[in-house]
A and B are shown apart, each in its own frame.
Chain A
Amino acid sequence: MSGVELPDRRLEVQHFAVAIAAFGLGAAMAVMQALSRADIPLPMRSEKLYYLSVTAHGVLMALVFTTFFIMGLGYFVARETLGKLEWKGLATGSFWLALFGTLMTTVAILSGTSTVLYTFYPPLQAHWSFYVGATLLVVGSWGFCAVLIRTYVMWRKDHPETPTPLAFHGMLVSVIVWILATSGLAVEVLTMLVPWSLGLIKTVDPVIARTWFWWFGHPLTYFWLIPAYVVWYTIVPRHVEGKLFSDQLARVVFIMFILFSTPVGFHHQFTDPGIDASWKLVHTITTYMILFPSLVTAFTVIASLEVAGRLKGKKGLFDWIGALPWKDPFFASVGLAMLTFAVGGFGGAINAAYAMNAMVHNTAWIMGHFHLTVGTAVALTFMGLCYWLMPRVLGRELKFPKLAIWQPYLWFVGMTIFGGINHVVGLMGMPRRVYSGKFLDSEVAKGWEGMTLISAYGGVILFISSLCFLAVILGTWLWGKEIAPPEVAFSEPLEATGKAGLWDRFGFWTVVAVVLIIAAYAVPLYDLYTMPRFESLPFKPF
């Protein structure tokens, strides 16, 4: 795709634009929260605004920024690797539907009628438009899934023997994980929350709602992570002039995510009543399985970077690390994202530990954890990828290149402070999601004060980094010098996979995944639905 002529990228650009706008709004909310938790007296500081902004930050960052960015990336990868997109009308329609839903939910949140946080556990009840908007966003994303699957099926007809291009292999896995995940969300929202918020049913069961929510909530994190892995495996090695160390293992890794992403949700509900401990232990075991593909990824990706250094003539044990382009904003973003994920991933192993979880459940530790994982491993990869995408998609040179180089390092420093200190203060017992950590001047809570202040400093650094990012993106879009778009090229493996085989049998692996999900959820859900229960009326304490 080299040359001066720019292919039609409107679809991708629309998605990225919504993602980045959501990111900007989410970042503004975030800095206010970090300062509020440290009890810094800001003008307009109030409980109502704080919890409203926690809701907005969570929804905009975790659901809107990620979903739109991944949809844009999915279309981009499909076009580049398979040559074209099928069902373009559906893709465009789905975009507008998802955008409409997003606006509906955002208005519901900003109006103050839906301060239920992004986990929206009943019996807290939001305005119906909050749930309906979120539903439309998800339905729009299903349109994206249908387009990618259709594109793949049509491509496969013409290429029966060719292994799926690896970048698309990963994106398709992400699509499958998303479909498995959102099936749970659909049950929760369509059978419980929407009719309940419209007054069609009076009561819902909070434990059943949480169970469906976490059926969705954990694979959601892999829906975010897999596209980041696609970038790590298939774009970064090429960008640094290395080679992908193992093509086959990358495929195994992606397939393992189909299998083990979903039957793990009870590790978010360890301390819930109503669910037998033995099922919680089963989900602990499946959760540990999902560590495996990430550990393999750590090896393959780092080995691919080492290949890059070796090809530049480095022979020592570690000198190849210095040979990597640390002053390139895309590579620096991804390199720092990986480093952060190594720490965040091990934290995840603690969260998933059946008994140890009680030490960290619902504390600031958890918030620290997912800011290292989704907030850095995924988000920083996506931000860095924007620096790679902009010249290729818009045909413009990056504006403010100095800011672009500083941005990932600022993010890394800010998040190391913010994430690190919240892990510590969480272990000391401070809960997550609190307007103030004073607890009526309790002695214990006094020990947290210095920590929340350090956390606020981290938050400010992150906000500055976000502003740098937005400046580079907007500057490039509006005033970037027009250039011939650089070539879009994906990593070449050291050894290519010869023919399509077991790892291209997406349908088969999806069936296996469904069997595992049924094994993990059928009995506890059956028990919940059939035992005598007393459901809850709605509450709106906000």
Chain B
Amino acid sequence: MKVDLYERIWIWAAALMIIAFLAAVIFSAGSHAVHPPSRIETVDPTKVLTEGEFTQAGVTTREDGSVLVTGLARMFVFTPGVMRVPAGVPVTFRLTSPDVIHGFQIVGTNANAMVIPGYVSQFTVTFDRPGEYLVLCNEYCGLSHHLMQAKLIVEEAP
């Protein structure tokens, strides 16, 4: 196939750009261990309100100092509605839904996960900046979707 010189240069530049993008994506994922929440764990959505860990939604500190937030996203509230966590400590969120799909987005951070009934969403975030954060649902879940929110308070480490 005959390809014009300028077009040939463009094609190589485009290919190199794509390779550079991909290299950056893969390198950052590997070196900083930044992976999207991809937990594979299932739970019965008809039972999460009555039995198991999600009946005790809340914040607990584990033996190694890391923090665990167990939470529920449901029409149209998050439990717990206020989460207090320390700054600079890895915080692991474990979330599920007893009804429809919800989103769990902590505005101003890269914590953003789908919360899907029947599955446990799990991810770990370290908050460096103390302050109050807005947690909101970013997946349409019904007529009061836009009211579904919670508060995350990151406290100065003791």
B36 and A355 form a contact (CB under 8 A): yes
Q: Is residue A523 contacting chain B, with contact meaning CB distance below 8 A?
A: no
B110 and A359 form a contact (CB under 8 A): yes
Q: Is residue B45 contacting chain A, with contact meaning CB distance below 8 A?
A: yes
Bound-state CA distance A288–B23 (Å) is 11
Tally A residues with Cβ within 8 Å of B. Answer: 79
For A317, the chain B residues whose CB sits under 8 A away are none
A439 and B100 form a contact (CB under 8 A): no
The answer, among A296, A532, A534, for a CB contact under 8 Å with B11, is A296
B116 and A274 form a contact (CB under 8 A): yes
A284 and B137 form a contact (CB under 8 A): no
Bound-state CA distance A314–B2 (Å) is 26
A249-B7 contact, Cβ under 8 Å, with A207-B118, A355-B25, A541-B143: yes
Nearest CB in chain A to that of B144: its residue: A47
A273-B136 contact, Cβ under 8 Å, with A295-B14, A436-B146, A534-B44: no
Give the contact stretch, choosing among A216-224, A425-433, A475-483.
A425-433
For A31, the chain B residues whose CB sits under 8 A away are none
Q: Is residue A486 contacting chain B, with contact meaning CB distance below 8 A?
A: no
Give the contact stretch, choosing among B58-66, B82-90, B101-109.
B101-109
Bound-state CA distance A513–B108 (Å) is 40
Bound-state CA distance A284–B35 (Å) is 12
B118 to A: closest C-beta gap in Å: 5
A288-B22 contact, Cβ under 8 Å, with A273-B116, A277-B35: yes
A276-B38 contact, Cβ under 8 Å, with A292-B15, A534-B44: yes
Give the contact stretch, choosing among A117-125, A136-144, A413-421.
A117-125
Interface string of A22-60 (1 = CB under 8 A from B): 000000000000000000000000011001001000000
B139 to A: closest C-beta gap in Å: 6
Bound-state CA distance A124–B41 (Å) is 22
A362-B7 contact, Cβ under 8 Å, with A274-B119, A445-B134: no
For B40, the chain A residues whose CB sits under 8 A away are 273-276, 527, 531
Chain B residues within CB distance 8 Å of chain A: 1-4, 6-7, 10-11, 14-15, 17-18, 21-22, 25-26, 28-29, 32, 34-46, 75, 99-101, 103, 105, 107-108, 110-114, 116-122, 132-134, 136-147, 149
B36 to A: closest C-beta gap in Å: 4
B143 and A123 form a contact (CB under 8 A): no
B114 and A271 form a contact (CB under 8 A): yes
A534-B42 contact, Cβ under 8 Å, with A206-B101, A444-B134: yes
For B10, the chain A residues whose CB sits under 8 A away are 295-296, 299
The answer, among B15, B28, B37, B144, for a CB contact under 8 Å with A273, is B37
For A359, the chain B residues whose CB sits under 8 A away are 110, 112
Nearest CB in chain B to that of A444: its residue: B134
Q: Is residue A539 contacting chain B, with contact meaning CB distance below 8 A?
A: yes
For B121, the chain A residues whose CB sits under 8 A away are 271, 273
B119 and A246 form a contact (CB under 8 A): no
Bound-state CA distance A246–B112 (Å) is 44
For A440, the chain B residues whose CB sits under 8 A away are 147, 149
Bound-state CA distance A299–B9 (Å) is 11
A429-B29 contact, Cβ under 8 Å, with A207-B118, A533-B118: no
For A434, the chain B residues whose CB sits under 8 A away are 145-146
B21 to A: closest C-beta gap in Å: 6
The answer, among B18, B42, B105, B140, for a CB contact under 8 Å with A532, is B42
Nearest CB in chain A to that of B151: its residue: A442
B29 and A281 form a contact (CB under 8 A): yes
The answer, among A252, A349, A355, A531, for a CB contact under 8 Å with B28, is A355
Q: Is residue A495 contacting chain B, with contact meaning CB distance below 8 A?
A: yes
Bound-state CA distance A160–B29 (Å) is 50
A273 and B38 form a contact (CB under 8 A): yes
B52 to A: closest C-beta gap in Å: 12
For A439, the chain B residues whose CB sits under 8 A away are 134, 136, 146-147, 149
Query: What are 10 A-B pairs with beta-carbon distances under 8 A?
Result: A123-B101, A205-B118, A248-B2, A292-B14, A303-B6, A355-B34, A358-B112, A362-B138, A431-B103, A434-B145
Nearest CB in chain B to that of A248: its residue: B1
Q: Is residue A537 contacting chain B, with contact meaning CB distance below 8 A?
A: yes
The answer, among B100, B134, B137, for a CB contact under 8 Å with A539, is B100
For B44, the chain A residues whose CB sits under 8 A away are 534
Q: Is residue A270 contacting chain B, with contact meaning CB distance below 8 A?
A: yes
For B116, the chain A residues whose CB sits under 8 A away are 206-207, 210, 272-274
Bound-state CA distance A356–B75 (Å) is 28
B99 and A123 form a contact (CB under 8 A): yes
A271-B134 contact, Cβ under 8 Å, with A434-B145, A444-B107, A531-B42: no
